[in-house]
Structure 1
Amino acid sequence: MSETNDSDELGLNPPPHDPRVDRRTTKLAVVGAGAVGSTMAYAALMRGAARTVALYDINAAKVEAEALDLGHGIQFMPMAEVIGSDDIAVCAGADVVVVTAGAKQKPGQSRIDLAEATISLVGKILPSLVEVAPDAVFVMVTNPVDIVTYAALKISGLPPHQLFGSGTVLDSSRLRYLVAQRCGVAVQNVHAYIAGEHGDSELPLWSSASIGGVPLLDWRGPGGASVLDEAARDEITHEVIDSAYRIIAGKGATNYAVALAGSRIIEAVLHDEKRVLPVSSLLEDYYGISDVCLSVPAIVGRNGVGERLEVPLSARELGGLMRSAETMRTISRRFGL
């Protein structure tokens, strides 16, 4: 005779409920509690991206204060835990590690000017981060992001799918915002990407852009007038490239939009969304481009960055992407990478 109660087999007497079974265990670690890092933690919390958000910074008073301030607002957000420390162990077991720590960009300074100091900093902290969170997906958000991402891959030894940069996710958002304003449509209906360097050599992929399924180059305004002729497109391109400099000149840092862009990447990873995002990753024979980190549309999910999509490119766009790649290679060689 079986000692098992028939009622148990039928599920009529289920075992006591263990609340840990339902607990979401997603953990986000944000490295750097400056303007970008603290705002990214805030954005991730507001969007309910992770169950635990850990802030790490070498400035103990600053990071603990940021975590406390964020924690005081949890009542008004999706439930989460916020912790902050100057001990790197606070990042242990993270599912996603976002690195925002780096040299601060000053008015008139290019992103490339920051490279040496930021690469040195990444070299000091990244090995310890990999040690405490070896299975995490690492997202570099510090500038110059393409060079820093390439250096971080060399320093960490992580596979290219596990570490990538935020790339031109923000730049593409700026592009869509400006196109939406010019065309009088919701920004959510604009589909367009900036590719290449997150910087002065980046380029919009006009030939594959669309608005509500209509190719962007065919878009017409009232009365059939063209609102996106070459002059208008050039103007938008320059504004996308120059916007960060304008914001830094006016308020000292960009933080809101980059934090929202970063939180979107975080969600794509934690929720395994398989979302197409123009992140900066190591390219291998992408239209003949290899051994350089650049932004192209790629599928982002729980394992990090996946397939890079070979979107249609015009001859001009392909040439621009190759020039951007060569610019990055030249800079990489300058730093011995």
Structure 2
Amino acid sequence: MGSKITIIGAGSVGATIAYTLSGENIASEIVMIDINKEKVQGEVMDIEQGTCFRDPISIVCGDYEDAKDSDIVIITSGIARKPGQTRIELTQTNVNILKSITPEIVKAAPNAIYIIVSNPVDIMTYVFTKISGLPERQIIGSGTILDTARLKFALSDHFGVAQKNIHAYVFGEHGDSSFIPWSGAYISGVSVDEFYELMKARGKDIEAVDKEAMLTYVQKSGGKIIANKGATFYAVSRSVCQICARVAASSDSIATVSSMMHGEYGIEDVCLSTLTILGPNGIQGKLPMRMKKEEIEKLKASADTLKSVIAQIEW
């Protein structure tokens, strides 16, 4: 028996999440909610017509009350980022949308695990945490799970090694103040720098990783995709479905998702991404990773960047 998953927002990201989930064995029931009913009805019809190739699944266009007994609620509502626009510039508009949604959905599904995807995701996760009244373990921001996926792809492409062998992460804001803690970047138990030396010694034609260029690739990929095709939705949808799978699993796992900080690395009262333990009971805490002093300072700087935006929000 799969999970009941409600998706709020039927834009490109919400619809693609629904489509991706329809091909997985995570959900047995999907409820899609959006102010634009015709759009939802069209998305539901398009998606459900391809479900004959899998075990039975229910996909419906619903209202907030239809979210009752949801195991997971995914919030994607908000204005999409325009070419050249930063995530931070979206803040007030999308915060206002979230404030209108929150009481309705929390009333309908008070026990669900909530996955916040709307941008700027760290701010939205913080606001939802503050206004929802839900236990913090039930609130997961998609955070830098997508940034981490981009990093793993880039390292895999650079070294010609399978992504599943790469353990490297992006910490901080899902945005321009993010950073890569290279002290915790490994390829099958070998540091990235050591792996380069080992492959070089074996005669592989390979260059050392340009770490600044790698970070730029991670940070600017979204903007490049938006400039080229107008929106990003495939990779983020796969990332969100991965969070759903981990929440629906029988045991905990580790992911770079955004949640409230309570003194970890000397940071409090802000949501950002570090290694986080999550599973069927939601967030179970942070996994402290040994970092260099300068890396911790970068994490603190990212937190300060987010706090400066939070301070400007009209609640």
- Identical columns (%): 37
Question: Deviation string for 1:24-77 (max 9, x for gaps)?
Answer: 252000111110001001111212111101111111111011111111111123
With structure 2 as the length reference, what TM-score do the two structures score?
0.96
Match of 1:120 in 2: 96
Q: Which amino acid aligns with 1:267?
A: A
Match of 1:15 in 2: none
| Preserved contact between residue 48 and residue 79 of structure 1 (Cα < 8 Å) | no
Specify which of 86, 106, 111 is matched with residue 110 of structure 1.
Answer: 86
CA distance in 2, matches of 1:162, 1:252: 32
Deviation at 1:223, TM superposition (A): 3.1
CA distance in 1, matches of 2:233, 2:251: 24
Deviation at 1:217, TM superposition (A): 2.5
The change in CA–CA distance for 1:83 and 1:304 in structure 2 (over 3 A counts) is same
Give the secondary structure class of the aligned counterpart of 2:265: coil
1:289 aligns to 2:267 (yes or no): yes
1:140 aligns to 2:120 (yes or no): no
Match of 1:255 in 2: 233
Match of 1:236 in 2: 214
Give the secondary structure class of the aligned counterpart of 2:140: strand
Match of 2:165 in 1: 189
CA distance in 1, matches of 2:177, 2:263: 20
Q: How many residues align?
A: 311
Question: Deviation string for 1:170-225 (max 9, x for gaps)?
Answer: 00000000011111101111111100000000011211111111112211233368
List runs of 5+ in structure 1 lacking aligned partners: 1-23
1:49 aligns to 2:26 (yes or no): yes
Deviation at 1:302, TM superposition (A): 1.3
Q: Which amino acid aligns with 2:74?
A: V
Give the secondary structure class of the aligned counterpart of 2:137: coil
Q: Which amino acid aligns with 1:174?
A: R
1:81-230 correspondence to structure 2 within 5 Å:
81-85=58-62, 87-220=63-196, 221-223=199-201, 227-229=207-209
Specify which of 47, 72, 75 is matched with residue 70 of structure 1.
Answer: 47
| Preserved contact between residue 45 and residue 78 of structure 1 (Cα < 8 Å) | no
CA distance in 1, matches of 2:274, 2:79: 25
CA distance in 1, matches of 2:29, 2:155: 36
Specify which of 249, 254, 257 is matched with residue 276 of structure 1.
Answer: 254
| Preserved contact between residue 55 and residue 90 of structure 1 (Cα < 8 Å) | no
With structure 1 as the length reference, what TM-score do the two structures score?
0.89
CA distance in 2, matches of 1:265, 1:329: 25
Match of 1:6 in 2: none
Q: Which amino acid aligns with 2:271?
A: C
Q: Which amino acid aligns with 2:81?
A: Q
| Preserved contact between residue 2 and residue 26 of structure 2 (Cα < 8 Å) | no
Deviation at 1:312, TM superposition (A): 1.0
Q: Mean Cα displacement is larger for which, 117-126 or 307-316? A: 307-316
List runs of 5+ in structure 2 lacking aligned partners: none
Is the radius of gyration larger for structure 1 or structure 2?
A: 1
Match of 2:223 in 1: 245
1:304 aligns to 2:282 (yes or no): yes
